[in-house]
């Protein structure tokens, strides 16, 4: 059974069996544990879990909401008030002498009665219900899910409009009911699901930013573990797009994924020797065995076309996801903020080639607006899905896609 669907089905069962709604609808964390059992030992395991394991767990404050069987798979659902509680309570349990003796006795008498253990830490139901971290929609037969890794807060200048007067920039921001000198840039990430493929467009900023690092949790709340991601397409190598590839210990998070990067992008950063480039190259070095380089125009798995849109970085790409007559263009960092749509020539202090970035931006914005093309942007207001509307010869505006509910695919 799909983990999240199974979880929601379980909640329904809990409601109709008179477990209080307040027990479930809270800000707590839910841990779903799944044990694949040896068929011949299933009856013994169930009796032992009920009579011996559960009392020890309850002694250390484990809150067991429910247990159930699916074939030879035993499942149980735990509720926690914090991530730290999960770690500390499990450590207490595994240090308990009674639990350790019981485990040793079973191992000696029966051998391995559990073939496999898996778990899913699920977001609280309120977050799942509100879908604060993900919004689903379809492109033909491809399911797309707009995710968030959080945001990065930066001074308005020079992150945008480095050569424009501060008063002009402040006026534009306040017209949009925003702070006049700080921009909170959304870090949007796109998940693409087709057949057996789970593909991310970029990986966010991860642990390096205290306001980011939420992507893995949102994936897990949908029942997707990092090890299940098959591919990651890197739009460009700025840290808010690639630092999320590794954890705080310098290990690859998505260890089974092929990481697709433009050859031009990798060669550009490898040619530089400064602190910023070195941090980027360090990430690339860690995930190097997983990297697969592509050329301009490469199509990945038959439905993601990658075209270099240079200027922000030399190998920055836009990605076109297509199925039948439908398509979505991931513009990535072509536009860093909606203000740049109004003033395409204001640019960004992060553009490696400022004038080239302006030219690329204007050409692509014109095409997108003329074609009334659905787009997704890394830093557009979350969930980053919408259209580029032309105001006049030199100005555009953002029109968010109408989404009737967070889980709508229309």
pTM passes above 0.75: no
CATH assignment of 2-123, given 3.30.565.10, 3.30.70.100, 3.40.50.2300, 2.40.110.10? 3.30.70.100
Q: What are 406's two structure tokens?
A: 């967070």
| Predicted local distance difference test score (pLDDT) of residue 73 | 86
Kindly report each contact of residues 277-285 with a partner whose C-beta sits within 8 Å and lies 24 or more positions away, as own/partner: 279/239, 280/237, 280/238, 280/239, 280/242, 283/237, 283/242, 283/243, 283/245, 283/246, 284/237, 284/242
| Predicted local distance difference test score (pLDDT) of residue 289 | 98
Quick check: do 2-123 and 127-400 share a fold?
Answer: no
Backbone angles phi, psi at 402, to 5 degrees: -70, 120
| Predicted local distance difference test score (pLDDT) of residue 302 | 98
Residues in the chain predicted with pLDDT less than 50, given as ranges, are 1-26, 124-132, 410
| Predicted local distance difference test score (pLDDT) of residue 407 | 56
| Predicted local distance difference test score (pLDDT) of residue 155 | 96
| Predicted local distance difference test score (pLDDT) of residue 87 | 74
| Predicted local distance difference test score (pLDDT) of residue 304 | 98
pLDDT one-digit tens code per residue, 66-88: 888 888 889 888 888 877 778 78
| Domain segments of the chain as ranges | 2-123, 127-400
Backbone angles phi, psi at 25, to 5 degrees: -85, 95
| Predicted local distance difference test score (pLDDT) of residue 208 | 84
Q: Among 50, 58, 65, 62, which residue's Cα sits nearest to residue 13?
A: 65
The sign of the dihedral angle between the CA atoms of 30, 152, 375, 243 is negative
CATH superfamily for domain 127-400: Ribonuclease Z/Hydroxyacylglutathione hydrolase-like (3.60.15.10)
| Predicted local distance difference test score (pLDDT) of residue 132 | 47
């Amino acid at each position: 059974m799909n983990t999240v669907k199974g979880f929601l089905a379980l909640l329904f069962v809990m409601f109709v069996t008179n477990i209080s709604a307040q027990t479930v609808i809270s800000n707590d964390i839910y841990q779903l544990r799944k044990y694949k059992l040896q068929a011949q030992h299933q009856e013994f395991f169930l009796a032992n879990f009920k009579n011996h394991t559960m009392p020890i767990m309850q002694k250390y404050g484990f809150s067991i909401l429910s247990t159930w069987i699916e074939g030879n798979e035993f499942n149980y659902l735990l509720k926690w008030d914090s991530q730290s509680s999960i770690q500390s309570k499990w450590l207490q349990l595994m240090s308990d002498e009674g639990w350790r003796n019981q485990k040793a006795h079973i191992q000696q008498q029966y051998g391995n009665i559990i073939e496999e253990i898996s778990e899913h830490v699920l977001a609280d139901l309120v977050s799942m219900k509100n879908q604060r971290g993900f919004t689903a929609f379809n492109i033909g037969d491809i399911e797309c899910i707009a995710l968030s890794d959080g945001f990065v807060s930066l001074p308005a200048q020079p992150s945008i409009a480095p050569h424009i007067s501060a008063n002009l920039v402040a006026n534009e921001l306040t017209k949009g009911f925003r702070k006049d000198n700080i921009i909170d840039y959304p870090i949007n990430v796109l998940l693409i699901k087709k057949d057996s493929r789970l593909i991310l467009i970029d990986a966010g900023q991860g642990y390096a930013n205290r306001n980011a690092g939420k992507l893995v949790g949102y994936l897990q709340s949908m029942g997707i573990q990092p090890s299940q991601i098959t591919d990651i397409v890197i739009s460009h190598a700025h840290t808010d797009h690639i630092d999320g590839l590794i954890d705080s210990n310098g290990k690859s998070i998505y260890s089974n994924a092929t990481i697709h990067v433009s050859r031009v992008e990798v060669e550009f950063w490898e040619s530089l020797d400064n602190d910023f480039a070195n941090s980027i190259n360090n990430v690339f070095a860690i995930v190097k065995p997983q990297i697969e380089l592509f050329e301009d125009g490469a199509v990945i798995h038959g439905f993601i076309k990658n075209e270099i849109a240079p200027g922000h970085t030399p190998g920055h790409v836009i990605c076109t996801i297509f199925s039948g007559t439908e398509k979505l263009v991931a513009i990535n960092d072509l536009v860093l903020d909606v203000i740049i749509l109004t003033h395409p020539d204001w640019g960004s202090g992060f553009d490696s080639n400022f004038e080239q970035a302006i030219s690329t931006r204007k050409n692509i914005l014109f095409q997108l607006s003329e074609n009334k093309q659905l787009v997704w942007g890394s830093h557009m207001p979350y969930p980053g899905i919408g259209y580029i509307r032309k105001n006049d010869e030199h100005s555009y505006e953002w029109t968010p896609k109408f989404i009737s509910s967070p889980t709508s695919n229309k």
